[in-house]
Homo-oligomer: A and B are copies of this chain.
Amino acid sequence: MQDGQARALLRAMFDAAVAAADPAKVVPGRLPAPPKGRTVVVGAGKASAAMARAFEKAWPRPLTGLVVTRYGHAVPCERIEIVEAAHPVPDAAGERAAARMIETVRGLSADDLVVALVSGGASSLLSLPAPGLTLDDKRAVNKALLASGASISEMNCVRKHLSAVKGGRLAAAAHPARVETLLISDVPGDDPAVIGSGPTLPDPTRRADARAILARHGIDPGTRVLAVLDAGEETPKPGDPRLARARAQMLATPQGSLLAAAEVAHAAGVTPLILGDAIEGESREVARVMAGIAFQVRRYGQPAPAPCALISGGETTVTVRGKGRGGRNVEFLLALALALRGDPRVFAAAGDTDGVDGAEEIAGALVAPDTLARAKALGIDPAARLADNDGHSFFEALGDRIVTGPTLTNVNDFRALLVLPG
């Protein structure tokens, strides 16, 4: 395989991963049974506007709806109203949308259908404080959680118990209507009750769990929040009769996207090895481990002989120490290039499936055997760029960025190392 073919294969794998989660492709085949009465579409998340457009195009009946997405992620819809709000720290636009959504579904009858289009980001975008709280109370807790190292499951547990819409409360408000939730997952384990803090699904967590999580991370949320966590209304639990007609379908998952990429590799005669759909860890250290596995393939043909692709997903983290233009995928790739030390038979690609790695509309980048040599020729010091968390500048200078524009979906990160024989 030539260099150009290796790069093209990795790019095709990334594109397949994104396509497998494209709302336009996955929504039409998964429509719920039509209701006797009205159809009301609600939803929230980075992918949810695109899901709304796909849904209204495919739905053969009248419908109305309101969906909230991240600023810049709106797409034109004809029948469903799309509202934009802030992510990852909620704002008043998200609060107004959540209040309107609750109002919209209240008073529906048993003949009516609520379709909830939920994807990653919904936790922040759909933010209605529980009675007794302000949006600022929630924002403060949210910021403290984001800085604490709490897991997404932990964050969402707390969020549910401070919310008037999350943790099944939106579905409870829609009772006695039927509620069908269509989901695109960006969380480890793909638990429907965790994605977007599960506004339409029963919540197995309790107020006491939320209190324990705050205590574990040393967060003092203030007296109003503590009062709600002590004596507020519990979220609807599994078995709650108000949610007896709530169902969920998973339209796309990180694993589904990795499988799609694996198929592309397989079709090219490359053995795909999926190492994990939820790999976590500091980006640059994850890169060193992946380089170590690639070296094992090179030297010993373990855990599989070359040509093979080491594929993984999930969300690594970057402890920011520098001032560069970075994202967790380009950080991973820059550290990987250093760890591979110009190995002549290893290529790699990584990117965020939402098309935005970090703060810029650059999805990710490619690493080739000559990455370090080309950087040197340009007078660029890769180690210094990594120390400055400056991955985007590095791969921009080399012309090795992957730019897709916003993909309007999100199944988290995609990473692949392509190890060739010889």
Name A's B-contacting residues (CB within 8 A): 188-189, 216, 255, 273-282, 285-286, 288-293, 295-296, 299-300, 302-304, 312, 314, 339, 383
Contact = CB atoms under 8 A, between A and B. Distances in A.
Contacts of A383: 216
A292 B296 contact: no
A274 B292 contact: no
25 contacts: A188-B295, A189-B299, A255-B299, A255-B300, A273-B303, A274-B296, A275-B296, A275-B302, A276-B293, A277-B296, A277-B299, A278-B292, A278-B295, A278-B296, A279-B289, A279-B292, A279-B293, A280-B291, A280-B292, A281-B288, A281-B289, A286-B288, A286-B289, A292-B312, A303-B304
Contacts of A295: 188, 276, 278
Contact of A285 (B286, B291, B292, B314): B286
A101 B391 CA distance: 50
Nearest to A381: B216
B280 A288 contact: yes
A332 to B, nearest CB: 12
A276 B255 contact: no
A339 B292 CA distance: 20
B279 A302 contact: no
Nearest to A216: B383
A296 B277 CA distance: 7
A303 B303 contact: yes
B285 A282 contact: yes
Nearest to A285: B285
Given A255-B300, A303-B303, A293 B281 contact: no
Contacts of A286: 281, 285, 288-289
